[in-house]
């Protein structure tokens, strides 16, 4: 069947990103900010509370591949620790979203495209429907896509934090296929993780391209992609391979 669509993973496939959620500066800065909201916690208390709320959120979802909601974590943080006089702030996600964005911004050390990503996407865009399926948070993924100039390429952009589960859960891939109005056999999935991307997409019957980038799981027993690339520019040859 003719290939009509391409779905991309984002981080590690299109975007070369480096974050460190253990970086002490994150929790120091947030601790200092919180004093202006009447919350007096040191950096270690902030870090401990953040991860406890995240873990409880994942557990409560009851999913096989649980995901958290970063804005929801900070909303719950504020609900627990914000002085009663300031509780109306929680009725809007503005404060929680700000904390989620600040957390990500401080934890981020690199945000750049892999070589040739723009050039290849420009060539593919007129010929195929293109979507993105990513493990992450919309509060982070969408601004980061805009920052590197990729936001306009993909429709839809499916982000695991909006669903409560992560890849390789088939429902994320199915959500993209539904919006694209395509069948699995009409789509190629391009990703950098042998388990979450290649295994997940392959189980639904999509053709898979494994980008062996500087991130992601490189091997998984019993899992083989349909094509392997080591530079993003090689995706051109992969597409030609599937046209035969």
- pLDDT digit string (tens) for 211-222? 999 999 999 999
Last residue of a domain, one of 65, 82, 109: 109
Of 109, 136, 167, the residue at which a domain comes to its end is 109
Helix (H) or strand (E) holding 157, with range, is strand 157-159
Do 165 and 194 lie in one domain? The reply is yes
Which residue in this structure is represented by tokens 């694209």? Answer: 180
- Positive or negative CA dihedral for 124, 205, 178, 156? negative
How many residues appear in the chain? 244
The DSSP H or E segment spanning 209 is strand 207-211
45 and 120 part of one domain: no
Same domain, 177 and 65: no
All residues at 6 or more sequence positions from 215 whose CB lies less than 8 Å from its CB, including other chains: 11, 12, 16, 192, 193
Do both 76 and 115 map to the same domain?
no
Cβ atoms of residues 157 and 145 within 8 Å = yes
State pLDDT tens for residues 100-136. Answer: 999 999 999 999 999 999 999 999 999 999 999 999 9
pLDDT digits (tens, 9 = 90+) for 199-211: 999 999 999 999 9
Split into its structural domains, the chain has a count of 2
User: Are 134 and 227 within one domain?
Assistant: yes
Domain boundary at 79, 109, 139, which? 109
Q: Is there a single domain that holds both residue 24 and residue 132?
A: no
Statement to judge: residues 122 and 184 lie in one domain: yes
Instruction: Tell me, yes or no, whether 54 and 91 share the same domain.
Output: yes
Instruction: Quote the pLDDT of residue 104.
Output: 98
One domain, residues 85 and 125? no
Nearest one of 167, 155, 170, 175 to 191, comparing CA atoms: 167
Structural domain including 79 reads: 19-109
213 shares its domain with 125 = yes
Query: What CATH number did the domain enclosing 224 receive?
Result: 3.40.50.1000
23 and 121 in a single domain? The answer is: no
How far apart (Å, rounded) are the C-alpha atoms in residues 22 and 18?
12
pTM of the model: 0.94
Looking at the structure, tell me whether residues 145 and 227 fall in a common domain.
Answer: yes
């Amino acid at each position: 069947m003719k290939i009509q669509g391409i779905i991309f993973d984002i981080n590690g496939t299109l975007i070369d990103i480096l974050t460190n959620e253990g970086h002490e500066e994150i929790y120091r800065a947030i601790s200092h900010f919180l004093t202006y909201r009447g919350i007096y916690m040191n950096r270690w208390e902030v870090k401990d509370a953040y991860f406890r709320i995240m873990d409880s959120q994942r557990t409560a979802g009851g999913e096989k591949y649980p995901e958290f909601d970063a804005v929801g974590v900070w909303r719950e943080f504020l609900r627990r620790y914000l002085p009663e006089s300031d509780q109306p702030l929680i009725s809007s996600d503005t404060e929680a979203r700000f904390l989620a964005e600040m957390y990500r911004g401080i934890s981020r050390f690199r945000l750049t495209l892999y070589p040739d990503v723009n050039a290849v996407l420009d060539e593919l865009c007129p010929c195929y429907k293109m979507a993105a399926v990513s493990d992450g948070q919309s509060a982070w993924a969408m601004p980061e896509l805009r920052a590197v100039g990729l936001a306009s390429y993909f429709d839809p952009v499916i982000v695991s934090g909006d669903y409560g589960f992560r890849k390789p859960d088939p429902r994320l891939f199915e959500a993209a296929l539904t919006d694209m109005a395509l069948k699995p056999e009409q789509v190629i999935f391009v990703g950098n993780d042998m388990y979450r991307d290649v295994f997940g997409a392959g189980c639904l019957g999509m053709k898979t391209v494994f980008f062996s980038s500087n991130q992601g799981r490189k091997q998984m027993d019993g899992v083989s992609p349909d094509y392997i690339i080591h530079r993003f520019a090689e995706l051109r040859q992969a597409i030609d391979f599937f046209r035969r």
